[in-house]
Amino acid sequence: MTEKIPQHMHCQICGKAIQASDSETLCSEECKQRYQSMTKKRKLWVYIMYALIFVMIAVLFFSSYIGY
């Protein structure tokens, strides 16, 4: 009654079951493109957050320096 499930992994993007391997974590070229797109967007947001933090610190520094 108990069926043995072969070793497998799941695609990081769509969740499909794929054969377990050390190199592949995505199931198709479409998922690879979606992953790259997500990575680029995430990097952009990280840069925006760092810029906002820098601007906030600069505003605080210069506002206290000017004497407001």
pLDDT digit string, tens, across residues 14-68: 989 888 876 788 999 999 999 999 999 999 999 999 999 999 999 998 887 776 5
- Cβ burial of 12 (10 Å; 0-12, 13-18, 19+) is middle
For the entire predicted model, the pTM comes to: 0.69
The answer to the question of residue 62 being in a domain is yes
pLDDT for 7: 85
The answer to the question of residue 1 being in a domain is no
Domain containing residue 38: 8-66
The answer to the question of residue 25 being in a domain is yes
The answer to the question of residue 43 being in a domain is yes
**48 or 3, which is more confident:** 48
Number of domain units in the chain: 1
The answer to the question of residue 2 being in a domain is no
pLDDT for 64: 79
pLDDT for 41: 98
- Work out the pLDDT band at 1, boundaries 50, 70, 90: low
The answer to the question of residue 3 being in a domain is no
